[in-house]
């Protein structure tokens, strides 16, 4: 249904649930989406029953009015069209945008186009993208706001709202003025990768009350300036609760923009009236924050905001409306807040020390593991070396056995050879004896031969002589 959408912009605890229900109960003329940026919608695809249960049990605990149907009932009716469209970045990461991301444009346009009647989007985190929403979808824009001191005290109904305020400052493209606030209050850096873990961390690390109010009031000032500049209707829930004339004026403004059947006669929101000493403490913080914002915004914008603020704080600091017991209760609550912040910071520091020690132990353990690995490496090398030695010894023993076998064989051969040598020696001795006898015989023969030769020579001489004599006698 392509009807001109209505955007209700506010911060948490500004009476937004009440105004949401004003539209929802208006004779079925409006199709109302409660907090389209709420991280509970991450469960819409897979666990819609959890989304449907939100607010069912704790509405009274957070002082929300009875709104009949479950908070996110309208989302459940069109859930098939929303499959995969809600991204976690919508809740905190991508709040501050000059133009909507493609994902956000598709998501919000689907909400608008699937509405069964004139769509109403009640937003608590739109202060950074209200202009982008108006640029993309046009529509009628209402700025719902509340006196900041009462609003901040309303945050104390549980831990979520202070934690969510911290997470808003963790998003992307945070304006310079809010970055300066971030540094001033020394916020812990929190990753938004897992929203549940981020929220738990923020809830577990609260700020002391002065820093907490400084952070909140800075966001209050920023949203007030931004939303006043884009809104067609500005409505203060405090005045709406207190003044018949103001209610009539608001209804008239709504009619001018085609918003009929808007009945706010039952509007009633609690207000906190501070004592003089309390009011002075808050005024100091507010003045410091406003001084910071003057560095980034014109005097006209800041003065207009101060004028709106002063009109609501006239009774603050007056003895006429304060309840001494309430003053004492708030004093105790603030002291406990500071105590919780101190304990959280102390615990955080102790955890940091413990973490450092654990890192040292981890490094030491890694060193031990490395040493064990080195030891194991050397053991394996020694075992390998021992195995090599065992193999060498086995080879040596085998060689010894083989040498002993050869030695045994050699001994047998030597013994045989010795026997052969002994036999040869006997033969040599025998031959030596025979040779001696032969030599003796040879000597005898040689002597006889000599004698024979001598005799022969003598005989030859005689014969020669006789021959010569014979020849001479012829």
Give CA–CA dist 126/16, Å, rounded.
13
Give pLDDT, residue 187: 96
237 touches 146 (CB < 8 A)? yes
Give pLDDT, residue 287: 97
Give pLDDT, residue 319: 53
Give pLDDT, residue 470: 82
Give pLDDT, residue 219: 99
Give CA–CA dist 133/128, Å, rounded.
10
Q: How far apart are the first and last CA of the chain?
A: 192
Beta bridge partners of 141: 7
Q: Edge-to-edge strands of the sheet including 6-9?
A: 30-34, 118-123, 6-9, 140-145, 233-236
Give CA–CA dist 239/236, Å, rounded.
5
Residue 378: CB atoms within 10 A of its CB come to: 11
Q: Which two tokens stand for residue 104?
A: 């956000």
223 touches 11 (CB < 8 A)? yes
In this prediction, the residues of the chain whose per-residue pLDDT falls under 70 are 1-2, 56-66, 314-321, 473-474
Residue 1: CB atoms within 10 A of its CB come to: 11
In sequence order, what DSSP letters do the residues of 171-215 get, joined into one string? STT--HHHHHHHHHTTPPP---SSHHHHHHHHHHSPPPHHHHHHH
Give pLDDT, residue 339: 92
Give pLDDT, residue 286: 97
Q: Which two tokens stand for residue 452?
A: 């024979």
Q: Is 235 helix (H, G, I), strand (E, B) or coil?
A: strand
Give pLDDT, residue 264: 97
Q: Which two tokens stand for residue 446?
A: 């040689």
Q: Which domains does the chain have, with CATH numbers?
A: 6-322 (3.40.50)
Give pLDDT, residue 473: 67
Give pLDDT, residue 316: 52
Q: Which two tokens stand for residue 226?
A: 């931004």
Maximum CA extent, the chain: 213
Please, which residues have CB within 8 angstroms of residue 114's CB and are 6 or more apart in sequence? Answer: 1, 78, 81, 82
In sequence order, what DSSP letters do the residues of 125-148 get, joined into one string? S-TTTHHHHHHHH--EEEEEE--H
């Amino acid at each position: 249904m392509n009807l001109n959408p209505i955007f209700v912009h506010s911060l948490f605890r500004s009476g937004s649930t009440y105004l949401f229900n004003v539209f929802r109960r208006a004779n079925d003329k409006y199709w109302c989406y409660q907090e389209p940026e709420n991280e509970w919608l991450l469960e819409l695809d897979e666990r819609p029953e959890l989304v449907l249960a939100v607010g069912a049990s704790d509405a009274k605990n957070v002082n929300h009015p009875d709104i009949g149907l479950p908070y996110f009932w309208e989302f459940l009716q069109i859930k098939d069209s929303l499959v995969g469209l809600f991204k976690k970045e919508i809740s905190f990461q991508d709040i501050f945008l000059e133009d909507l991301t493609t994902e956000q444009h598709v998501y919000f346009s689907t909400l608008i186009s699937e509405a069964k009647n004139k769509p109403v989007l009640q937003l608590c985190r739109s202060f950074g993208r209200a202009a982008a929403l108006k640029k993309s979808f046009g529509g009628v824009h209402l700025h719902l706001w509340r006196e900041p001191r009462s609003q901040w005290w309303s945050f104390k109904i549980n831990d979520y709202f202070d934690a969510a305020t911290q997470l808003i400052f963790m998003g992307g493209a945070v304006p310079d003025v809010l970055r300066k606030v971030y540094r001033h209050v020394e916020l812990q850096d929190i990753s938004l990768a897992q929203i549940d873990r981020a929220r738990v961390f923020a809830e577990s690390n609260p700020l002391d009350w002065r820093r907490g109010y400084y952070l909140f009031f800075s966001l209050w000032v920023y949203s007030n300036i931004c939303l006043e500049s884009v809104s067609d209707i500005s409505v203060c829930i405090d005045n709406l609760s207190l003044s018949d004339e103001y209610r009539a004026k608001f209804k008239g403004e709504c009619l001018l923009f085609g918003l009929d059947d808007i009945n706010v006669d039952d509007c009633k929101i609690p207000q906190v009236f501070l004592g003089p000493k309390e009011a002075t403490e808050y005024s100091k913080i507010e003045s410091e924050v406003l001084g910071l914002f003057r560095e980034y915004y014109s005097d006209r914008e800041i003065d207009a905001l101060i004028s709106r603020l002063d009109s609501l704080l006239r009774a603050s600091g007056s003895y006429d409306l304060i309840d001494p017991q309430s003053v004492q209760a708030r004093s105790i609550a603030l002291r406990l807040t500071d105590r919780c912040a101190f304990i959280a910071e102390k615990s955080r520091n102790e955890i940091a020390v413990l973490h450092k020690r654990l890192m040292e132990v981890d490094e030491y353990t890694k060193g031990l593991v490395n040493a064990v690995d080195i030891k194991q490496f050397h053991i394996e090398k020694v075992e390998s070396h021992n195995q090599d030695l065992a193999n060498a010894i086995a080879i040596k023993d085998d060689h010894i056995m083989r040498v002993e076998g050869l030695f045994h064989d050699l001994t047998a051969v030597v013994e045989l050879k010795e026997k052969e040598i002994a036999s040869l020696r006997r033969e040599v001795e025998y031959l030596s004896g025979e040779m001696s006898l032969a030599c003796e015989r040879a000597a005898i023969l040689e002597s006889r031969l000599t004698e024979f030769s001598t005799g022969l020579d003598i005989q030859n001489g005689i014969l020669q002589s006789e021959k010569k004599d014979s020849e001479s006698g012829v």
